[in-house]
A = this chain, B = another copy of it.
Amino acid sequence: MNEKTTIYDIAKALNVTAATVSRALNNNPKISAATRKLVMETAAKMNYKQNKLALALKSGKSNNVGVVVPYIDRNFFSAIIRGIEEELYPLGYHVIICQTHEQESAEIDNINALLNAQVDGILMSVSKLSTQTSHFEHVLNKNVPLVFFDRKKDVKGVSTVTIDDYQAGYNATKHLIEQGCSKIAHLSGDWALEIYKNRYKGYKQALLDNGITFNKDYVIKTKSDIKAGHKSVEKLMTLETPPDAIFSSSDYVALGAIQQLKKMGVKIPDDFCVIGFSNEPFTKFMELSMSTVDQLPVEMGKMSAKVFLEQVKESNVKIEKKVVLAPNLKIRATSTKK
C-alpha cells in the first residue's frame, strides 16, 4: 500500500517473475489476458509507480529537458517557459529550470549540471555577459540537442528561435514616422547581443527609407531599467534639437523615459511619442497604455520545444534550424496622436 513498490514486489505477490510483470504493465502482446489483468490489479492495489529513473538509465533517455534563462520571474522568460512546458508535458517530458542571473559562470555551471543530469536537450537564452562558446560546444559533443531562443550566439550546430528583431525595429520606427514624428531617438542595449543590434539596424533603415537623416546623438546604449530611461531622456532633452519620439529596446527603459518626460511637462502622445519593447504586462495597464512590440513569448517557447522535438526525432542527422517569428506591433496610447 505504501513505500516504494517495485515490479519485484508485484511479481512476488503473484508468484510470477518480474519480466512477466514488466510485460503486462507495458501491454506487451505476448501475455495472457488473465495475467495482465491480475498484474494490473495488484499493481494498482499496491500503489505501484514506475521508476522512471531506472527506465532512464536503461534507455539513456531521461525525458527531462533543461531550460536556462537569466531570471525566471521576468515575464518574458516565464511566458516562454510556459510555452515550452505546455508543448512538452503531454509528450512525457519534464522541464528543469535554471537561472543564470546574467552571469556566464552560472551559465556554464548550469549547463554542466544539466548534462550531468542527463537531460535530453537544453533550451536557453544566453546571458548578457556570456562571451565564450566552448560550453555550448560541450553540449553538442555529447549529442544533446541545444536550442537558443531570443538571445543567441553564433554556434555551429545550434538551432535558434527568435523574432525578427530587425523587422520589429523597422516597424516600430516606421509607425512613429507615420504618426508624424521625424526626430526619433533610439534607446538600445548592449550590442554584444544580436537582438539589440538588429533592432537598431531596423530603426536606422526605417529612417533612411523615409528620407530622415540618421543622427547618432539620438542613439543611446543603456541598461534595461527604469532609471536608465530617466537619464537617457535628461540627456536627449538637452540636445540642441531634442527628439520628438523614442523607440526603446526595453519596456522598462521606455517607462522611465515616459516618467521623466511627464516630469518635464512634455505632452505624450501629442508632442512626443514613445514605443517600448517586450509587451510586459504593465504596459497595458498604464493610464496611457504603452505601445510596444510583442515578442509572442509563449509561441516562442512552443516553437523552441518543437524544434527540440524535431532534433530528437532526427537524431541521426544534424539539423541546424533557424526559426524567425514575426513580431507583433502593439499600437497603444503612447504613440497614437489624434
Hey, which bits of chain A sit against chain B, CB under 8 A?
1-4, 47, 49-54, 56-57, 62-64, 71-73, 75, 78-79, 81-82, 85-86, 89, 92, 94-99, 112-118, 138, 141-143, 255, 280-282, 285-288, 298
Contact = CB atoms under 8 A, between A and B. Distances in A.
Q: State the oligomeric state as a number of copies.
A: 2
A116 B75 contact: no
B141 A117 contact: no
Contacts of A62: 53
A97 B85 contact: yes
Given A3-B143, A47-B141, A96-B97, 18 more contacts: A49-B142, A50-B116, A52-B117, A53-B56, A53-B57, A53-B117, A53-B118, A63-B117, A73-B81, A75-B281, A81-B97, A85-B98, A92-B113, A94-B117, A255-B285, A281-B281, A285-B286, A287-B288
Contacts of A75: 73, 75, 78, 281
Contacts of A117: 52-53, 63-64, 94
B3 A96 contact: no
A89 to B, nearest CB: 7
B78 A72 contact: yes
Contacts of A94: 96, 98, 113-114, 117
5 contacts: A3-B143, A49-B115, A73-B298, A85-B97, A86-B99
A184 to B, nearest CB: 24
A92 B298 CA distance: 29
A2 B137 CA distance: 10
A82 B73 CA distance: 6
A260 to B, nearest CB: 14
Contact of A142 (B3, B56, B63, B73): B3
Contacts of A57: 51, 53-54, 57
A280 B282 CA distance: 9
B85 A99 contact: yes
A258 to B, nearest CB: 10
A236 B101 CA distance: 45
Contacts of A63: 117
Contacts of A92: 113
Given A52-B116, A53-B57, A96 B64 contact: yes
Contacts of A95: 96-97
Contacts of A49: 112, 115-116, 142
Nearest to A285: B282
Nearest to A82: B73
Contacts of A71: 82
B141 A2 contact: yes
